[in-house]
Amino acid sequence: MPIKRERIPHVDDPEAVGKRLFDAREGAGLSQRELAFPGCSAAYISRIERGERIPSLQVLRELASRCGVGETFLAWGRKERLDAAVAEQLRKLEEAEGSGSKAERAAAYAALARAANRAARALKT
């Protein structure tokens, strides 16, 4: 008989995750419908926000990316917020990776690097 191993949770508390998702979504100026994507409906987002569902790690990562926050913030409440410009360039890069030409991908990577450099300089001041 196989031995069951202990499951290690990828979130601290479902209600806390829901609250953090709500705050991140509101902070990004997104409605539940705007945040939704294939595999994660607005109704499912609502249930996560109410603490009724725990999103999978993959869904948690996508929600964090779309809200411009780190996945560890949504999962555990650790503040690793992405700079808004960096988050936007990261979204554009993901789009270019999915459907862009080699030149579009190169431009997207360059734009992300510029945004990251600006964010790093802002942290130093």
The CA distance from 45 to 21, in Å, is: 9
Residue 36 lies in a domain: yes
Q: Residue 56 sits in which domain range?
A: 14-76
User: Splitting the chain (125 residues) into consecutive groups of 10 residues, what average pLDDT does each group show?
Assistant: 71 92 94 96 97 92 91 81 80 85 91 90 78
CB neighbours of 17 closer than 8 A, spacing ≥ 6?
11, 48, 51, 54, 55, 60, 74, 75
| Statement to judge: residues 31 and 59 lie in one domain | yes
* Predicted local distance difference test score (pLDDT) of residue 43: 97
| 50 and 94 belong to one structural domain | no
Q: How far apart are CA 28 and CA 85, in angstroms?
A: 12
Residue 80 pLDDT: 57
Give a three-class secondary structure readout of 69-120.
Answer: CCHHHHHHCCCCCCCHHHHHHHHHHHHHHHHCCHHHHHHHHHHHHHHHHHHH
Residues 21, 58: one domain?
A: yes
Number of domains in the chain: 2
Residues 49 and 68 in one domain: yes
pLDDT at 78: 76
